[in-house]
Amino acid sequence: MVDLALHGNSRPLPLKEISERQAISEKYLEQLLRRLRQAGLTQTIRGARGGYVLAKSPDAISVEEILRGAGESLIAVQCINGKSKCSRESVCTVRLCWKELHRKIREFLESVTLSDLCRRERSGGTDA
């Protein structure tokens, strides 16, 4: 997503170009970009000059959306996923800590945009 935001301003980016620059296999990248397209974060442009573009402005895409769109779990422990069958769930104080940590992680990831990541990338990875 950072690669699309930084290099795709004026044109769709071919899968091969992104793959080479990011050192990611084309097969895996294609799967990832398919998930991100289904999540409404990227678009595919067909044709000889086709490729991938962002579906929204980098300012309008949060890191949380990207991770969720890519199918990544933000849950640190399974007991807070809502599907747990733990017999201690109602009395476990540690579980409450995990839930609070999950909330804070999610809030942080929602507050960081793709534009923020691009600024960091342009500044050599330091805070900008």
pTM: 0.84
At 5 the pLDDT is 96
- Tokens 């000889």 belong to 48
- Is residue 12 predicted with pLDDT exceeding 70? yes
Please compute, for residue 92, the number of CA atoms within 13 A of its CA located in the half-sphere on the CB side: 14
- Structural domains for the chain: 1-61 (1.10.10.10), 62-112 (no CATH)
- Residue 128, both tokens: 């900008």
| Per-residue pLDDT reduced to its tens digit, 29-49 | 999 999 999 999 999 999 888
Strands in 13-70 per DSSP E: 42-45, 51-54
| Per-residue pLDDT reduced to its tens digit, 55-86 | 999 999 999 999 999 998 878 777 777 666 77
**Helix, strand, coil in percent for the chain, rounding step 5:** 55, 10, 40
Contact 52, 12 (CB under 8 A): yes
- Range picked from 4-13, 69-78, 101-110 for highest mean pLDDT: 101-110
Of 58, 61, 73, 82, which is closest to residue 105 (Cα–Cα)?
73
Q: What is the mean pLDDT of the chain?
A: 90
